[in-house]
Amino acid sequence: MSHFLRKSLSSFLYRPTLFCCRHFSHSHPHNTTSLFSPTWLSRNSYTNGLSPTRARFWASQPAVTEPSTSDGLTVEGIISNNWTILDENDGDWKSHAAAIAQSITLIKRRLQWKKLKVRLNMLSVQLNKEDLWDDPVRAGKINREHGSLLGKMKEVNGLERELLEHIEMIKLAREENHEELELESMKALLNMRRNAKEKEIEALLSEEHDSCSCYIEVQAGAGGTESMDWASMIMQMYKSWAQQRGYKVTVMEEMPGEVAGIKRATIKVDGEFAFGYAKSEIGVHRLVRISPFDSNKRRHTSFAAVAVIPNLGDQSSSVQINESDLRIERFRASGAGGQHVNTTESAVKITHIPTGVTATCQNERSQHQNKASAMAVLQSRLNQLEMARQAQLNSQHTQSLTDITWGSQIRSYVLHPYRMVKDLRTNYEVSDADSVLEGDLDGFIMSYLSASLDKNEDDA
């Protein structure tokens, strides 16, 4: 950045008439941290271990007001001006500004902006109650939610502020006839336009557990070897998808079929927003193909069920498990393994007696490690049961809690007589079935998330 630009920007940022939201000047609009990432939130003390006094202080702070330029231009004003949005390479500053304003408006819609502000005000009232911290668990939950919502609101307003700063800089450059300043501001607008499109996607993942890692479970349906082979193909598809996104994949449980494929398997997918993306895969997946196990080369239809469970870790909302409610069985691991794995009873199966929920792990070298891994899987399954119970009590069914039954087919994979993969919920389809089976799922995922958001808005 040139000396002139730095000097102009410095004087510009401290014009007393520039923005209406002066109390928001401490934000960092150029921060590259993910808009709705818990990583950003964890750096703010009010989301973790905050004292009651400081929590009430943050709750009493005024809500962020809408930013505007010195001549009163706001993001809503840009939208109402109906500036033409051109291609990135052809657009002028008004085109870029209009595209960014459109993205910000979409982000607000996806975050259900009005409801977010109402909820934030309700949480602020609760945080200001003197007796809130008599129940530390409940207080901590309210405290974290308040911090999360406040962080989202400030970040979106930060985007608005950054956009209006760039617009003001372009006007300043033209007033002073400084081409370098105008060019640099135009480049900044273009970069912001591209980044804003990424933030639109992040805004789709704004529900409570979307940022969590997750477990993906695949179970073969009726049909013997054919369905077990299909279940194995589905599991490999998810492993490839997760690895392509940079997630860490760990096999937690695998029950091989007698001839080929798997009867059931569970993987752990570690990474930010893993659950938010993967939840769109919950349901039954149907395959139509010429069976490689049929000597007569007949066409077969196979099914596999997929469940996705958020890994809540040590969050306070986790279900408490009593040791007396557990039945722990130890056995010798099966399948491929090292010298130690298959010669000792290192595999562990844990049953939660009150619910009948089980978890098995046999891929670790020691019984202790397998028990810890199985307990983590069991905890997540019980958490999911509790989430489902609460949703049922409240008569609310979120898209992440679809009932997994053989009638709930969500996607068809046809390999014969033609090749096509089609999502039955959104009608999104592609003809390149091989790329889908190799992990190219993002088109299906984004289509489902967008459609689910639109449906929720229609139901609201």
Is residue 117 scored above 70 in pLDDT? yes
Cα dist from 214 to 210, 257, 310, whole Å: 9, 24, 4
- Mean pLDDT (the chain, rounded): 80
The whole model's pTM is what? 0.63
> How do residues 284-342 score in pLDDT, each as one tens digit?
999 999 999 888 889 999 999 999 988 877 554 567 888 889 999 988 776 554 444 45
Contact 306, 218 (CB under 8 A): yes
Least-confidence region, from 176-185, 218-227, 280-289, 362-371 = 362-371
Q: What's the rounded Cα separation, in Å, for the pair 342 and 323?
A: 27
Tally of CB atoms within 10 A around 143 = 27
C-alpha closest to that of 425 among 438, 411, 413, 439: 411
Beta-bridge partner residues of 422: 412, 429
Better pLDDT: 413 or 57: 413
> How do residues 62-110 score in pLDDT, each as one tens digit?
455 668 888 889 999 999 999 999 988 876 899 999 999 999 999 998 8
Q: Give the class (CATH, top level) of 3-203.
A: mainly alpha
Q: Give the class (CATH, top level) of 209-460.
A: alpha beta
- The β-bridge relationship of strands 420-423 and 299-311 is unpaired
Beta-bridge partner residues of 309: 215
Helix (H) or strand (E) holding 8: helix 3-13
Helices 179-203 and 3-13: angle between axes, nearest 10 degrees: 60
Q: Where in the chain do CATH 1.20.58.410 domains reside?
A: 3-203
**Cβ-based burial of 423 (10 A; exposed 0-12, middle 13-18, buried ≥19):** buried
Q: Sorting pLDDT into bands at 50, 70 and 90, what band is 15? A: very low
Q: Tokens for 398, please give them.
A: 């979120």
Q: What's the rounded Cα separation, in Å, for the pair 267 and 280?
A: 16
Q: Where in the chain do CATH 3.30.70.1660 domains reside?
A: 209-460
Tally of CB atoms within 10 A around 36 = 25
Helix (H) or strand (E) holding 290: strand 283-290
Is residue 7 scored above 50 in pLDDT? no
Q: Tokens for 50, please give them.
A: 């905050």
Close Cβ partners of 174 (under 8 Å, ≥ 6 residues apart): 182
Cα dist from 359 to 178, 338, 378, 381, whole Å: 67, 22, 5, 9
